[in-house]
């Protein structure tokens, strides 16, 4: 449980989490959203249009889709900066302690997880296209697509990193040290992660059954963090998931509407697409990672009691 125990390396009182979460919300929903609001106002013809657009994520209001994506990502950047600031100044911890229990971030793990899930995503989309090509429209436009790829690979990880740092790092460690059980922290953070996606257009279209996917994804990413003693695999997996979704396929009802290669025109339904990842693909990925990184003592890591380590010095702990 070294990863969750990282929370003990700084101030860990309950009030510090309240302060930092308020700071995070301020950075995400107030500071980070300013460029998006300003752009929306500049693109609106009157106050009524702006107010109506604000209810529906500004409906992009004729804003270039790549610009809109950058503006949305910036809101997450505001939240991430505020969260890091709180971790350093309020909790008096290094950012590394919320990312991993290792001495430094393992980029090989990040890239491996990215490669595995990106490969699976490409294969799944390819099979979908092969089986039902009539459901897709080829949408390749060189300049917009090139810009989209640059934004996706360079900036979209900001969004996924913010979510991972918040849920699989900060809150996982916080709940783990409060309730003394990593498994409880896993369940709580996964449910919150799923519910916070409730405002996504996908949920409005498919209904709350889509929580199976979102909460299931949260559980998978949380298991990665607990068993691997760090967030590296979660960071790579989440980045691959969103980048592939943004670059390869778009629809008119998902949260990211981009200049992707393909437009999916099929009617959305909570069918096999909803349950295949959770019941088939996620277990496969979990098995691959567990074998590659030699995960053992599953019961101890998932259900053991989390205790404050015996402090030797600033950087050394004994469980």
Let me know if 48 is exposed, middle or buried by CB neighbors in 10 A (0-12, 13-18, 19+). Answer: exposed
Pick the residue with more confidence: 209 or 7? 7
**pLDDT at residue 81 above 90?**
yes
Cα gap 69→72, rounded to integer Å = 5
Which segment of 5-14, 88-97, 147-156, 199-208 scores lowest on mean pLDDT?
A: 199-208
pLDDT of 205: 73
Number of domains observed in the structure of the chain: 1
The boundaries of the domain holding residue 309 are 2-318
Backbone φ/ψ region at 177: left (φ over 0), alpha (ψ -120 to 50), beta: alpha
Question: Beta partners for 38?
Answer: none
| Summary mean pLDDT of the chain | 89
Cα gap 125→36, rounded to integer Å = 31
pLDDT of 14: 93
Query: What is the helix (H) or strand (E) element at residue 138, kind and residue range?
Result: strand 136-138
């Amino acid at each position: 449980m070294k990863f969750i125990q990282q929370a003990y390396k700084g101030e860990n009182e309950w009030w510090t989490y309240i302060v930092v979460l308020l700071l995070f919300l301020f950075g995400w929903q107030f500071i980070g959203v300013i460029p998006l609001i300003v752009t929306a106002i500049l693109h609106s013809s009157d106050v009524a249009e702006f107010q109506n657009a604000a209810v529906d994520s500004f409906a992009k209001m004729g804003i270039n889709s790549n610009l809109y994506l950058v503006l949305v990502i910036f809101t997450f950047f505001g939240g991430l900066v505020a969260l890091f600031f709180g971790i350093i100044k309020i909790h008096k911890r290094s950012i590394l302690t919320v990312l991993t229990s290792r001495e430094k971030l393992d980029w090989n793990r990040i890239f491996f997880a990215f490669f595995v899930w990106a490969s699976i995503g490409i294969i799944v989309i390819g099979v979908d296209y092969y089986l039902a090509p009539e459901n897709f429209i080829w949408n390749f436009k060189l300049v917009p697509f090139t810009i989209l790829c640059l934004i996706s690979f360079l900036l979209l990880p900001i969004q996924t990193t913010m979510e991972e740092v918040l849920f699989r790092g900060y809150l996982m460690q916080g709940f783990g040290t409060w309730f003394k059980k990593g498994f409880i922290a896993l369940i709580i953070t996964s449910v919150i992660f799923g519910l916070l996606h409730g405002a996504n257009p996908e949920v409005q279209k498919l209904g709350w059954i889509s929580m199976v996917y979102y909460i299931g994804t949260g559980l998978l990413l949380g298991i990665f963090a607990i068993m691997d003693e760090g967030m590296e695999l979660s960071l790579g997996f989440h980045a691959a998931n969103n980048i592939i979704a943004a670059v390869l396929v778009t629809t008119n009802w998902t949260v990211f509407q981009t200049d992707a290669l393909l437009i999916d025109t099929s009617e959305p339904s909570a069918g096999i697409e909803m349950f295949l990842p959770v019941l088939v693909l996620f277990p496969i990925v979990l098995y691959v990672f567990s074998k590659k990184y030699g995960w053992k003592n599953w019961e101890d890591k998932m259900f053991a009691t989390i205790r404050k380590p015996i402090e030797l010095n600033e950087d050394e702990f004994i469980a």
